[in-house]
């Protein structure tokens, strides 16, 4: 890990919020309004001519949203942050804000399905070229860089195989080339890794997952240097994918326990991965905290924990894998992760159900592949549930 000692619990509870809130409320109030009025004509001039620190309209900002952004920036160690209505809105708005016709982007092939779709199907409509490179091939990544390359985008860890990127190597690769290095760090969270410390320019999170932590809101955030964030924020005001004040409040509420939740999720993920790795009916486990993971040493060197997501292949065919899922009693089938409730999903039939089997296998999505997202329950309880469900495969 490339960081000094950070008190994540203190930042999660206090950062970004006023010491004494309006009406002496201990929690940041929900400013549930679309419009902010002016006291008089002088107040208008103070705002428009003298840049008075205040709000005008909900699409341009809200006090509850600002508090959440400041808290997230403190946790990430960033100069500034801007919130969006979803993680995909954060990604797409950032790309459109920073790219223009004739530009080129490099993205790794293990990125989120919808991110890849946006790059391959939507960006060409704006005259922007995309090159997709294997997440494992650094030589090909460097060879793909062109004079007009403006963004290099990757995720770390990736979904669903939890591959870990060498962020320092990527930073050195693009250094001095006028290329913006962006990392989607949703699976890592700032608790387990802070990409800015490794030379990454911008960090993106789907706050829906670990950051909010309660499976009850959609949000995304982009974090980085204030100057670059301001460019994205100004574009964001035009595009309009804003987060509402109530979701901002829920995000602040969820972040209060962020450090505590991550400690438990890291612990649960590791215990479950170790259990599955030894089970005779599990063919393979993908988890950076296991020594047999391709990027175990890199993960140990650059991360403080490995999260609650464990991906594995059941020693069964498609129907056997579905039967295993149906026997689970505590783990519920759902496509997200990072919340307090444990979820499990079957990518082949949940995320890639529109693809043929051949198309799925070409993407590495096997019929027996399962992704488990541990919650904050006792690890032993989740392991018992897995154990009883796997018995049908004997």
Q: How far is CA 257 from CA 64, 254, 263, in A?
A: 18, 6, 10
Residue 308 near residue 268, CB atoms below 8 Å = yes
209 is catalytic: yes
Chain centre to alpha carbon of residue 180: 18
Specify the DSSP class assigned to residue 202: E
**Residue among 202, 197, 194, 145 nearest 174 (CA):** 145
- Sequence-ordered list of residues with C-beta below 8 angstroms from that of 358, at least 6 positions apart, any chain: none
d(CA 44, CA 46): 5
Catalytic hit among 194, 209, 233, 371: 209
CA-CA-CA-CA torsion sign (158, 311, 367, 292): positive
d(CA 53, CA 44): 12
Strands 309-314 and 104-108: unpaired
Strand partners, 180: 151
- Sequence-ordered list of residues with C-beta below 8 angstroms from that of 214, at least 6 positions apart, any chain: 250, 253, 254, 339, 340
d(CA 247, CA 148): 38
Catalytic hit among 184, 201, 277, 385: 184
Q: Is 119 helix (H, G, I), strand (E, B) or coil?
A: helix
Residue 98 near residue 227, CB atoms below 8 Å = no
Catalytic hit among 112, 191, 210, 287: 112
Specify the DSSP class assigned to residue 269: H
184 is catalytic: yes
Catalytic hit among 46, 47, 59, 283: 59
Q: So which residues are the catalytic ones?
A: 59, 112, 184, 209
């Amino acid at each position: 890990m490339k960081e000094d000692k950070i008190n994540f619990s203190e930042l999660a509870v206090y950062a970004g919020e006023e010491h004494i809130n309006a009406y002496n409320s201990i929690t940041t109030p929900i400013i549930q309004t679309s419009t902010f009025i002016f006291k008089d004509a002088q107040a208008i001039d103070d705002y428009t001519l003298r840049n008075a620190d205040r709000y005008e309209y909900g699409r341009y900002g809200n006090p509850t949203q600002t508090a959440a952004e400041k808290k997230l920036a403190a946790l990430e160690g960033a100069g500034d942050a801007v919130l969006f209505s979803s993680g995909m809105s954060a990604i797409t708005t950032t790309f459109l804000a920073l790219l223009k016709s004739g530009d080129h982007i490099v993205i790794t092939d293990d990125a989120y399905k919808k991110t890849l779709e946006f790059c391959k199907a939507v960006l060409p409509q704006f005259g922007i070229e995309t090159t997709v490179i294997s997440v494992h091939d650094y030589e090909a990544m460097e060879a793909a860089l062109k004079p007009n390359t403006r963004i290099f985008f990757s995720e770390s860890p990736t979904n669903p195989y939890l591959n870990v990127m060498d962020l320092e190597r990527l930073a050195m690769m693009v250094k001095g080339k006028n290329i913006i290095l962006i990392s989607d760090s949703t699976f890592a969270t700032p608790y387990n890794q802070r990409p800015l410390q490794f030379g990454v320019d911008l960090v993106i999170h789907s706050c829906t997952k670990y950051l909010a932590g309660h499976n009850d809101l959609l949000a995304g955030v982009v974090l980085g240097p204030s100057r670059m964030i301001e460019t994205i924020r100004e574009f964001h005001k035009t595009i309009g994918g804003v987060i509402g004040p109530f979701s901002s409040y829920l995000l602040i509420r969820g972040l209060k326990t962020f450090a505590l939740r991550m400690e438990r999720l890291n612990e649960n993920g590791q215990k479950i991965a170790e259990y599955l790795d030894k089970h005779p009916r599990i063919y393979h486990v993908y988890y950076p905290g296991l020594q047999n993971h391709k990027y175990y040493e890199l993960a140990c060197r650059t991360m403080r924990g490995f999260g609650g997501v464990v991906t594995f292949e059941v020693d069964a065919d498609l129907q056997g894998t579905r039967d295993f899922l149906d026997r689970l009693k505590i783990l519920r089938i759902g496509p997200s992760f990072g919340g307090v409730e444990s979820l499990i999903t079957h990518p082949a039939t949940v995320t890639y159900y529109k693809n043929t089997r051949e198309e799925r296998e070409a993407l590495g999505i096997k019929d027996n592949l399962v992704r488990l997202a541990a919650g904050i329950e006792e690890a032993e309880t989740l392991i018992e549930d897995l154990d009883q469900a796997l018995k049908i495969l004997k």
